[in-house]
Amino acid sequence: MSSSVTIASAARELAPQETAPVEMADLLVAYLEQIGVEYVFGVPGGAIEPLFNALARSQRRGGLRPVVARHEAGAAFMADGYARETGRLGVCCATSGPGSTNLITGVACAHDNNIPLLAISGLPALPSFGRGAFQESSGTGVNAFAMFQHCTRYNAMVSHPSQFERKLANALMTAQRAPGGAAHLAIPLDVLRYAAASATPAYDLAALFEPKSVLIDENAVQALKAELQRAPRAVFVIGAACFDAIEAIMALADLTNALFVTTPDAKGYVNPRHPAYCGVFGFGGHGSADALLASAPDIVLAFGSGFGEFVSGGWCDSLLNNRLVHIDNSEENLMRSPMARRHVLGHIRAVCERLIELLDADSAADINDARKLASGLYQAEVTFQSPESYDSDATPIKPQRLMKTLSERCPPTTRFLADIGNSMVWTAHYLQPHDRRTRPRHLGQATERRSGSASWLRVVMDFCPMGWAIGAAVGIARGQPNCPVVCVAGDGAYLMSGQEITVAAMEQLTVVFVILNDSALGMVKHGQRLAQAEAIGYELPQVDYRKLAESMGIPGHVINSPQELEALDFAAILQRQGPTLLDVRIDGEEVPPMARRMKTLGALK
Ligand SMILES: Cc1ncc(C[n+]2csc(CCOP(=O)(O)OP(=O)(O)O)c2C)c(N)n1
């Protein structure tokens, strides 16, 4: 008996009505529609087919639709990017067995970065479990279902149709609970096909998900206000969870004359040319940020960060000490700073707005005068490693010079992403577009303000899978098709995941893939050199990425020099309804600013 016959008869066993008008898969789609999801990123296959059927029905009536990735990890990265850009839930799906194991890297990455994401994987029909069914991935096959247990906040198999809505609601609620995370549902084929009593969801999740954002610890805020008044030299550290609080944080920084730094994954929330900005603290960061924290300020307010290795400068003592006040809406993040002087639990924006209110009421002018006197002691600046390379006109083009031109030639609405590897380090350190969008409210009307969770730069922390930015760029562009997206990735990452460019082509999305072509796993090469380790395993083949793109019907350009880069018609490329590839033959000898990482690895003293 063929497996499709087995599956069909199993589905009949569960289905009380032969010609069910609505299946559980339709109900799943109805829930996603209810909470405003527009796309499901995935790859089809037998066990997940009913979901694709339901998506086709939904698409016909103008509802949500699938975006088909080339690899399931790419689908999860796309869902991650979509969630970051839109503030909505990212949803991805895969078939059972290898489809779900392929999905795992992207799900783990979202989980580790607190991105709200729902992963749905198919399973063969329930009666076939334990019989060697094709791609069986429950407990009686290759147990892919169990693998998700370790990289999600919620992992459930729907082992009976009556569980379906409850488990789905639980997964959706868990993924969206602050600070966001990944949930996984494994759904057998026959459950997806089971006749639903109605296409109308039993629960109104849209109402339950309405923001309850004003919860703060008033006593802690009052105590912090008093501490701030006693501490003229305040420094702020802005972390990834500050996306919707950034204007309030900027207003508070202005009111208290605080200088500020960001973690690499929060650089995109601020104006990198802000007069009080001292740069990125952490991976790829600036000496000026290190110096600011090492200058023993009176108080350090850190907002929305879990202080992982990359965002804490390798758990640096100058940050993690008792000058620290840690402000966060996540108890998990607060748990990471037991050395702090104070924890303030609460919605970050609400905490800042309340502090502003309290400080205003206590005559901010006096506080400002005291601070202005103190601020003469320390000036804001962002210091680059090798500033001469930033302005260099040499050929081959230096990566720093590439960052300069991208900063100058892309409009303020551009969404940049950097992949793991030297791309992330170059970007965190040198990219500084003229961003006129974030200004303290009381300094006048902000122009071209970003909305919601929008950021001009996205990088991934902690889990850091190569190829993340390539998929995430497609997801961001799908979520915000009116803004150009620029994805900076190494040739190694592109060889791993570059096929997702064809999704941007089919979806007609404006994504510029900037490939740092050095025929090497550059971060590995430079890491080995800095550590004086064996030079091994970093070489990559010489590839003409323009030709590769052109073979897919995608325009490409080879760039050897700053002059060739400057000569590009950026306006046309950034308006094209479809991707463009820039194969940039960079100077691979330039040393990326990654000494801190080497120290943490124990390779540098
Ligand atoms: C999936 C995965 N495999 C391996 C690594 C380890 N790793 C980190 S950076 C890097 C090299 C990246 O090379 P490339 O994409 O060419 O970027 P470059 O550093 O040259 O800019 C490697 C192998 C990783 N982060 N993710």
Ligand 1 geometric centre to CA of 604 (Å): 20
Residue 346 has pLDDT above 50, yes or no: yes
Bond before 179 cis per omega within 30 degrees: yes
Write the burial class of residue 170 (CB in 10 Å: 0-12 exposed, 13-18 middle, 19+ buried).
middle
With pLDDT > 90 as the criterion, what percentage of the chain qualifies? 80
Whether the predicted pLDDT of 448 surpasses 50: no
CA of residue 432 relative to chain centroid, distance: 19
Looking at residue 445, its pLDDT comes to 41
- 311-325, 379-393, 591-605, range with the lowest pLDDT: 591-605
Residue 7 is predicted with a pLDDT of: 40
Q: Which atom of ligand 1 is nearest to the CA of 518?
A: 20
Per-residue model confidence as pLDDT tens digits over 229-268: 999 899 999 999 998 899 999 999 999 999 999 999 999 9
What is the distance in A from the centroid of ligand 1 to the CA of 379? Answer: 36
The whole-number pLDDT of residue 216 equals: 87
Least confident piece of the model among 94-108, 208-222, 296-310, 313-327: 208-222
Q: For residue 398, is pLDDT > 70?
A: yes
Least confident segment among 139-153, 156-170, 323-337, 453-467: 453-467
For a substitution probing ligand 1, which of 420, 429, 591 has the most ligand atoms within 8 Å of its CB?
A: 420
Give 594's pLDDT tier (boundaries 50, 70, 90).
confident
Buried b (16+ CB within 10 A) or exposed e, 173-184: ebbbebbbbbbb
Residue 410 clears pLDDT 60, i.e. is over it: yes
Q: How close is the Cα of 397 to the center of ligand 1, in Å?
A: 21
In the predicted model, what is the mean pLDDT of residues 398-405?
98
As to burial, measured by CB atoms within 10 angstroms (0-12 exposed, 13-18 middle, 19+ buried), residue 245 is buried
Q: With cut-offs at 50, 70 and 90, classify the pLDDT of residue 144.
A: very high
Residue nearest to atom 13 of ligand 1 (CA): 521
Residue 370 — pLDDT band, cuts 50, 70, 90? low
- How large is the average pLDDT for residues 22-37? 96
Between CA 463 and CA 469, with CA 465 as vertex, the angle to 5 degrees is 115
Q: What percent of the chain shows pLDDT beyond 70? A: 89
* Per-residue pLDDT at 457: 95
Across the chain, mean pLDDT equals: 90
* Exposure of 465 in the CB half-sphere (CA atoms within 13 A): 24
What is residue 595's predicted lDDT score, i.e. its pLDDT?
A: 76
User: What confidence category does residue 439 fall into, taking pLDDT thresholds of 50, 70 and 90?
Assistant: very low
Q: Give me the residue label for tokens 């992992």.
A: 155
| Residue 368: φ, ψ to 5° | -60, -40
pLDDT band at 24 (very low <50, low <70, confident <90, very high): very high
Mean pLDDT for 386-407 is 97
Secondary structure of 369-410 as H, E, C letters: HHHHHHHCCCCCCCCCCCHHHHHCCCCCCCHHHHHHHHHHHC
Q: What is the pLDDT of residues 273-283, one digit of tens each?
A: 899 999 999 99
Q: What is the pLDDT of residue 449?
A: 43
- Mutate-to-test residue for ligand 1 from 524, 525, 584, 586, highest number of ligand atoms within 8 A of CB: 524
In this prediction, residues 513-540 reach a mean pLDDT of 96
Any idea which residue has 């040499």 for tokens? 394
Find the 419 Cα to ligand 1 centroid distance in Å: 8
Residue minimizing CA distance to atom 6 of ligand 1: 466
Q: Is the pLDDT of residue 297 over 60?
A: yes
Identify whether 98 is preceded by a cis peptide bond (ω within 30 of 0).
no
The Å distance, Cα 125 to ligand 1 centre, comes to 39
Q: For residue 392, which of 402, 383, 382, 401 has the smallest C-alpha distance?
A: 401
Is 207's pLDDT higher than 90? Answer: no
- pLDDT for 81 equals 97
C-alpha of residue 459 to centroid of ligand 1, in Å: 14
Ligand 1 mean position, distance from CA 75 (Å): 19
Q: What is the pLDDT of residue 209?
A: 82
Residue 371, pLDDT score: 57
Q: Is pLDDT of 18 > 70?
A: no
Q: Which two tokens stand for residue 549?
A: 């793109």
More reliable by pLDDT, 60 or 445 = 60
Q: Across the strands, what pairs with 582? A: 514, 557
Position 447 pLDDT exceeds 50: no
The predicted pLDDT at position 213 comes to: 59
Which tens digits make up the pLDDT trace of 123-133? 999 999 989 88
pLDDT in tens, 84-125: 999 999 999 999 999 999 999 999 999 999 999 999 999 999
pLDDT at 604: 54
**What pLDDT, on the 0 to 100 scale, is given for residue 378?**
54
Q: Is 450 a residue whose pLDDT tops 70? A: no
Question: Would you say residue 9 has pLDDT above 50?
Answer: no
Q: pLDDT by residue (tens digit) across 492-518?
A: 999 999 999 999 999 999 999 999 999
Atom of ligand 1 nearest to the CA of 522: 20
User: What integer pLDDT is reported at residue 178 of this predicted model?
Assistant: 81
The phi, psi pair for 475, rounded to 5°, reads -65, -40
Q: Measuring from each residue's beta carbon to the nearest atom of ligand 1, which residues come in under 6 Å?
A: 420-423, 464-466, 490-493, 516, 518, 520-524
Pick the range with the lowest mean pLDDT from 207-211, 381-385, 595-599. Answer: 595-599
pLDDT over threshold 60, residue 387: yes
Q: Closest ligand 1 atom to the C-alpha of 521?
A: 13
The 8-class DSSP code of residue 18 comes to T
Instruction: Tell me, yes or no, if the pTM score tops 0.95.
Output: no
**Position of tokens 């008093």?**
226
pLDDT of 397 strictly over 90: yes
In the reported structure, the alpha carbon of residue 527 is separated from the centroid of ligand 1 by a whole-number distance in angstroms of 11
Res 368 pLDDT > 60: no
